[in-house]
A and B are shown apart, each in its own frame.
Chain A
């Protein structure tokens, strides 16, 4: 165990990838689909041996700055692991290119869930399991990394609460905690609830009527907010509204870092219902649901169908569920979502989902986007400025933490927001350079940066299909997904000239 701990993070991740490959291999073996399973078994062997060899070669290597080396390893993991994961995938699907397989794996690993294989029956079940598993592991990866690597460096959203990165360090602090110890501790702390919640949701979904396989994929897609489902399925299949209620309950995990142990940094005594992120999320969901629902309802009244109470409630629920699902950057639409359109005869504004996906879920959760805490900081700052219009000399209350959040925190949030907006502009610009129209470019850019793959199918009037994209567009979107997943600030922290000149 001690020897394992001294291994570089990347090697460990490679070994874990190899282990994970045994799951689809075993699944295929049980189903008798040896053609699908064999590449994964060989892949596990080869990558395992490779990891062992690199591990032996790099054992006892001590990087100069452990914290930065872990940040670097985290970003590099998004570059190195997807090709490794894509390799057996490519072997198992004879009629696909390696680039497509890489895009699929990258979108799974970043919990984006943008899929090229949405035609039912295109892939064997074991491969869908592999996609969902990679998404689930990707969710766990970012969960652990956010707590163990990003938060101590004041990245990943907590900088809004804690202030500027590396502001003051007392001279007597000679040693900081080894990130490897943190990684181990938090991984062991987070794995039981993460896996347990998944199991619980799976069980619940199966009880609600879902098939075992679809239920498992749904559970993993919910907990990791990847939204990866087999065979191009969108949302629940047989479990209906009860399944959706269950999923909605677990989507709250992606709204606040309090859902998991170890995520309570400071202000642990604040009751959950007073958590700013949760309140912000509830306010957003309530208002967006209200607006969308009223719009449909008025449309339905004009259609003389507004008096149908069952339809009304079903549309209300499906609007709320879809809103929550896109806010957490999961992107599972409600089953009845399409009927809302028929009910009212109105098109839905996909734009509002793009907005929700940009806002994103909670800090240090599996969700992407700008993150609720930053939006909250900006909101409080705006509120405070309104007060100052009336009383320019007034002092805001709420405690030192709230003041920090409104002042410096809002500034940090603003910087991040501008970086996010800039990256949207750059990605969209790059996509249009490949010959794409502006509308689909914008939709794809936002869905990649906010790690909400299914957004492409709902945001525009016509669904945008990833399968129809060119190789360059896929490469750009791949880069955007990594950028969206690890957050622009972390990438900048790594790329800062001071970093590589040292």
Chain B
């Protein structure tokens, strides 16, 4: 498949890496020659330097026979015009654009992105995705990574095990027998920096980071089994009242359990805007690093502090300061992936990388067809793929134990109709079922063969 990616920044580059790794013909367009050179040097992609929305530049990038265009430049308007040009001039069949401004995303104006108006098939809003990621982090405070699957009925939890975990040094097979009613399945283990799919005889050790696929109603029990206590989070402080902070605060207000959230925002107009659109949440105006202001927001008794300003360093410092003042959990928004290793040193519990979130959600739409969700784990080392089983698939009509999955693939759950099942050996997979699989990166092509869908499926 021929894909044009406009914008070679972090998001564009990551998407290019994913797609080029899957043997697609990828062209990267950016008006910064440095970024284009970086992409062409490090990845198997072609590069075009120029303004992405100009028709001649797009033609140079091969828009005439392109199957898809992904507009991920930093400007909403350029992304929109790029999609329009790609549609009107070159007839590119599939157009994905990243739009940041929330005003473009008001549901009342959804009509705008229809084919005969402004032809964008998929609109990706990083802020919205990040807010969702933040909400997931808040929902499972003891985990370092979460993502929901199967329409929210199942979750992937990343849990870091420590010394007092009660199930250490036990083969996984025994754990399954011990907790037979628990739907949790350990799908991935990272030990000493290496990620692998565990065998039934493998044991868990302290300092392992494990990925558990679990049905939503069992999340708390699963966390208990692995020695994590869950506490109801009532007091949440959000530092930064931008699009992300505001979206999180709104989502918190919409929840039925009364959460007392406070938002700290530096810019007064922005704070007023936030105060106007929130009802129960208290908005404070001032510097989030100011300890007096943090104490005014009762950060010392907060269950979670979410630092989501637009500055990475501020976020990290706020998270550290809040943790030092007594907050139970601190989550920082970090754009720069090279800062991530610092977070553990600084005792910051979790982080949100908006670009990774955006990449993940764009990829989900790129792999269209029967693949319904894809979550990239770690540094693209593995993926969790949620897909619908087609009648033509070799999976259909067979029992789980009879299917020859590759070594690095584990089935997390099977959803038949509305029912989510634990994938024991004697579960039969039928046409139309939705299956969630953990697959190491090297096994993804084999999984796609099993599902009879590849990226070319359109």
Contact surface of A with B, Cβ cutoff 8 Å: 387, 391-400, 403
Contacts and interface: CB of A to CB of B under 8 A. Distances in A.
Given A392-B296, A393-B296, A397-B279, 18 more contacts: A387-B282, A391-B282, A391-B296, A393-B284, A393-B285, A394-B284, A395-B265, A395-B268, A395-B272, A395-B274, A395-B275, A395-B284, A395-B285, A397-B275, A397-B276, A398-B275, A398-B276, A400-B276
A400 B276 CA distance: 8
Contacts of A400: 272, 276
Contacts of A396: 275
Nearest to B297: A391
B410 interface: no
A215 to B, nearest CB: 47
Interface in B234-278: 262, 265, 268, 271-272, 274-278
B453 interface: no
Contacts of B271: 395
For A393, A398, A399, the residue with the greatest tally of chain B CB atoms inside 10 Å of its CB is A393
B181 to A, nearest CB: 47
B284 A391 contact: yes
Dominant SS at the A interface? loop
Contact of A403 (B272, B279, B297): B272
A394 B285 contact: yes
Contacts of B283: 394-395, 397
A344 to B, nearest CB: 43
5 contacts: A393-B284, A394-B284, A395-B274, A395-B284, A399-B276
A397 B278 CA distance: 7
Interface in B272-323: 272, 274-279, 282-286, 293, 296-297
A398 B296 CA distance: 22
Nearest to B283: A395
A394 B276 contact: no
Interface string B62-100: 000000000000000000000000000000000000000
B275 A393 contact: no
Contacts of A392: 296
Nearest to B290: A393
A393 B296 CA distance: 8
A391 B299 CA distance: 13
* Across the A-B interface, the 9 shortest Cβ-Cβ residue pairs: A397-B275, A395-B275, A393-B284, A395-B283, A395-B271, A393-B286, A397-B276, A395-B285, A399-B276
A248 to B, nearest CB: 33
A398 to B, nearest CB: 6
Nearest to A397: B275
Contacts of A395: 265, 268, 271-272, 274-275, 283-285
Interface of B: 262, 265, 268, 271-272, 274-279, 282-286, 293, 296-297
A408 to B, nearest CB: 15
A227 B63 CA distance: 81
Nearest to B263: A395
A40 B356 CA distance: 89
Contacts of B293: 393
Nearest to B286: A393
Contacts of A399: 276
A153 to B, nearest CB: 29
A398 B271 CA distance: 12
A391 B265 CA distance: 14
A1 to B, nearest CB: 47
Contacts of A398: 275-276
Contacts of B279: 397
Contacts of B278: 397
A403 B293 CA distance: 22
Contacts of A397: 272, 275-279, 283
A283 B296 CA distance: 33
A6 B386 CA distance: 80
Contacts of A393: 284-286, 293, 296
Contacts of A387: 282
For A391, A396, A398, A400, the residue with the greatest tally of chain B CB atoms inside 10 Å of its CB is A391
Contacts of B265: 395
Nearest to B270: A395
A387 B283 CA distance: 11
A394 B272 contact: no
A396 B272 CA distance: 7
A398 B280 CA distance: 11
Nearest to B241: A395
A478 to B, nearest CB: 47
Nearest to A396: B275
A394 B265 CA distance: 10
B276 to A, nearest CB: 5
A387 B296 CA distance: 12
For A387, A395, A403, the residue with the greatest tally of chain B CB atoms inside 10 Å of its CB is A395
A242 B268 CA distance: 54
B297 to A, nearest CB: 8
B291 to A, nearest CB: 13
B263 to A, nearest CB: 9
A398 B276 CA distance: 5
A403 B276 CA distance: 9
A391 B285 CA distance: 10
A397 B284 CA distance: 11
A26 to B, nearest CB: 58
A399 B276 CA distance: 5
Nearest to B287: A393
Contacts of A403: 272
Nearest to A387: B282
A394 B275 CA distance: 9
Contacts of A394: 282-285
A393 B284 CA distance: 5
Contacts of B285: 393-395
Contacts of B276: 397-400
A394 B286 CA distance: 9
A219 B275 CA distance: 46
A177 to B, nearest CB: 32
For B271, B276, B277, B285, the residue with the greatest tally of chain A CB atoms inside 10 Å of its CB is B276
Contacts of B274: 395
Contacts of B286: 393
Contacts of B296: 391-393
Nearest to B281: A397
A398 B278 CA distance: 9
B237 to A, nearest CB: 12
A398 B323 CA distance: 32
Nearest to B298: A391
Contacts of B272: 395, 397, 400, 403
A355 to B, nearest CB: 32
For A394, A398, A399, the residue with the greatest tally of chain B CB atoms inside 10 Å of its CB is A394
Nearest to B271: A395
A387 B271 CA distance: 16
A498 B75 CA distance: 54
A497 B286 CA distance: 43
A456 B293 CA distance: 54
Contacts of B262: 391
A362 to B, nearest CB: 26
Contacts of B268: 395
Nearest to A392: B296
A163 to B, nearest CB: 16
A394 B272 CA distance: 10
A37 B37 CA distance: 102
Nearest to B264: A393
A392 B293 CA distance: 9
A387 B262 CA distance: 13
B359 to A, nearest CB: 35
A466 B403 CA distance: 104
A495 to B, nearest CB: 38
For B268, B277, B296, the residue with the greatest tally of chain A CB atoms inside 10 Å of its CB is B296
A397 B274 CA distance: 8
A381 to B, nearest CB: 16
A394 B268 CA distance: 10
A270 to B, nearest CB: 15
A276 B293 CA distance: 33
